[in-house]
Amino acid sequence: MCGIAGIHAYLDVAPPVDRGELLHINERMAARGPDGSGLWITDDRRIGFGHRRLAIIDLSEGGAQPMHADNGRLSITFNGEIYNYRELRAELQAKGHVFRSESDTEVLLQLYAEYGTAMVARLRGMFAFGLWDATKRTLVLARDPLGIKPLYWADDGWTVRFASQAKALLAGGAVPRDPDPAGIVGFHLFGSVPEPFTVWRGVHALPAGTTLTVDATGPHEPVRYYDVATALADRAVSGSRNAAGARGQLAAALHDSVRHHLVADVPVAVFLSAGLDSGALLGTMADLGVRNVSAVTLAFAEFKGLPLDEAPLAAEVAARYGARHIVRTVDHAEFEHDLPALLDAMDLPTIDGINTWFVAKAAREAGIKVALSGLGADECFGGYPSFTDVPRSVRWLRPVSWVPGLGALVRRGLSGVIAAGIGLHPKAAGVLQYGGNWAGAYLLRRSVYMPWELDDLLEPAMVDEGLHRLAPLSRIAAALQAGKPLGDFDRVAALETSLYMRNQLLRDADWAGMAHSVEIRVPYVDPFFLAALPPGEVLAAVGAKDAVAEAPSTPLPETIRHRRKTGFSTPVGRWLRETAGEPARDNIDFSAASRTWARRVWRAGWLDPAAA
């Protein structure tokens, strides 16, 4: 995993590529690639690439980037890992392609030479890359199907710039910081910025599962090659409905995914909580013959002796599978010490990522460069309350949602009552107005603030423009457009995968892991794995979360399997109150997704660094 950057002056009258700007963009991402750095600019200075290397596959100089094809036609800067690169390499060799390195990067060059942009559908892995085709004079940008690796780009009408981090583009000095109301409103609604927006109008996130081509006329519209809802609908049509074999099918799919995610020339560790998903990864690694695995568990001083303390049960799982267990305890003092660096590394505002920051920090301290994470399992297996709450809300409230104006009237009345202090969450006022359709019910479930609350947080003009351009309900509904029927389980899976996981969990795993030069791999976030699972209705019927505990040949301990799900919590709410001098409460506010934390994150100077 690495950091990539590029500048392409596509108009003949555009200023040539500025080496200093490219260097500044590249160096802003130094933590992403401590093992090497490279710059390349063509003689005519119309295109230039930068790269920061974290060496995982082919540790030799043969894997250094930017990389070029022998004939000089193709050049690439690539971030990520291609887990099936050996199979693809063999396929290309059979067609006459000759390789000079053992890297997956060279496979991408040769694969493009053979298939063009259609190559992306053949890749199993996480990736973002920029590829220059000197013959066609085109730049191709691509991002993996589910959005594990980020890619940001900017176009001023003359020149396209791209990088692994939005803040890196700003560091180059040529991209303005003008605010984007759509992204800003999106953060306050969802707790993360929905792609393709950022909080800066001139910086765009390339959507997951798309390619973007830039030629002499400028950037074209992104072309989508993968869609989550469509993939789930196809699985529902073609997948086996044999419930008796579903658990075995799930276990086989997990073993296959973990096997692919172990492809590396350095040891692969695991982030281990007290939950089912990470424990199943460790058990599956043991099944595949991996020994002496390092398992890293995050603990919090405030949780010691409480059910939320992950360390004791994680230790039981580590011992069961023979792992070397590393427990890292974090307290309030360390949180305050790290907070400036954490906010600086945070590439876009988010209410999450704190846990990943500290577990990745612990991994780096232990000399770990690569770790598997259980991220994405809840989206696959129905592990969130939303899998029950959202369909139930739609069923119960759809009949009354058709009454014109009733929901808005009730919401206005309830808002005043709630503000008077009756103990209800402010979002409760919108249940009738929003809860009767899929998009509205999901917004209620996942939002930090609701649209009617935003005028108290932001300038009304910004709210109006932001809501108009973001169109949150339409954006949520678009995640369900598969062209084929979706069952309730798959509808929620599509929403959680396309929105919450992509815009928050995966993005946070990237910036927080890369801040410590740690590559986080996610075996549950894999289109090949997703396609190999039984249909959603079967997963729901057989209890997929319990089935994953039985996926290893030695199942997870009963103490883990019967533990109440708590999520990966942090005591940020309590820490923030203590910092502000507010009185302590008897109960701990465990949620990092608090409104207090969202406001603190937004005050970190996103639009004006001097105000941070």
Q: Would you say residue 156 lies in a domain?
A: yes
241 pLDDT band (50/70/90 cuts)?
confident
436-477 pLDDT, tens digit per residue, is 999 999 999 999 999 999 999 999 999 999 999 999 999 999
Q: Would you say residue 607 lies in a domain?
A: no
Residue ending a domain, choose from 492, 521, 549 = 492
Residue ending a domain, choose from 492, 507, 535 = 492
For the chain, give the percent of residues with pLDDT over 90: 80
Query: CA separation (Å) from 42 to 116, 126, 218, 219, 378?
Result: 22, 28, 18, 20, 46
For the chain, give the percent of residues with pLDDT over 70: 96
- Diameter over CA atoms, the chain: 75
Domain of 85 in residue numbering reads as 2-226
Number of domains composing the chain: 3
Q: How far apart are CA 329 and CA 365, in angstroms?
A: 13
Q: Is the pLDDT of residue 119 over 70?
A: yes
Q: Would you say residue 574 lies in a domain?
A: no
Q: Is the pLDDT of residue 253 over 50?
A: yes
Q: Which residues have C-beta within 8 Å of that of residue 540, sequence separation ≥ 6?
A: 382, 387, 489
Q: Is the pLDDT of residue 580 over 70?
A: no
The 8-class DSSP code of residue 96 comes to T
26-60 pLDDT, tens digit per residue, is 999 999 999 999 999 999 999 999 999 999 988 88
Residues 178 and 194 grouped into a single domain? yes
Residues 410 and 262 grouped into a single domain? no
Q: Mean pLDDT in the chain?
A: 92
Which of 34-38, 88-92, 373-377, 415-419 is predicted with the least confidence, judged by mean pLDDT? 415-419
CA of residue 240 relative to chain centroid, distance: 29
The average pLDDT across 148-175 equals 98
612 pLDDT band (50/70/90 cuts)?
very low
For residue 219, what pLDDT is reported? Answer: 98
Residues 403 and 260 grouped into a single domain? no
Residues 337 and 413 grouped into a single domain? no
For residue 611, what pLDDT is reported? Answer: 44
Residues 212 and 84 grouped into a single domain? yes
The average pLDDT across 70-82 equals 94
591 pLDDT band (50/70/90 cuts)?
very low
Question: Edge-to-edge strand order for the sheet containing 47-53?
Answer: 36-41, 47-53, 2-9, 159-163, 152-155, 204-205
Residues 18 and 155 grouped into a single domain? yes
578 pLDDT band (50/70/90 cuts)?
confident
Exposed / middle / buried, residue 591 (Cβ in 10 Å: 0-12, 13-18, 19+): middle
Residues 476 and 427 grouped into a single domain? yes
Q: Is the pLDDT of residue 592 over 60?
A: no
For residue 408, the surrounding DSSP H or E stretch is: helix 406-419
394 pLDDT band (50/70/90 cuts)?
very high
Residue ending a domain, choose from 428, 461, 492 = 492
For residues 556 and 579, which has the higher predicted lDDT (pLDDT)? 556
Residues 450 and 525 grouped into a single domain? no
The average pLDDT across 510-534 equals 97
For residue 83, what pLDDT is reported? Answer: 97
Residues 315 and 368 grouped into a single domain? yes
Q: In the chain, what is the straight-line distance between the N-terminal and C-terminal CA atoms, in Å?
A: 30
Which of 180-189, 203-212, 413-422 is predicted with the least confidence, judged by mean pLDDT? 413-422
Residues 429 and 347 grouped into a single domain? no
Residues 411 and 534 grouped into a single domain? no
257 pLDDT band (50/70/90 cuts)?
very high
The average pLDDT across 336-352 equals 95
Domain with residue 373: its CATH number is 3.40.50.620
The 8-class DSSP code of residue 504 comes to I
Centre a 10 Å sphere on the Cβ of residue 337 and count the other Cβ atoms it contains: 11
Q: Would you say residue 129 lies in a domain?
A: yes
User: Which two structure tokens, joined as six digits, stand for 417?
Assistant: 């009552």
Assign 3-class secondary structure to 182-247: HHHHHHHHHCCCCCCCCCECCCEECCCCEEEEEECCEECCCEECCCHHHHHHHHHHHCCCCHHHHH
For residue 243, what pLDDT is reported? Answer: 77
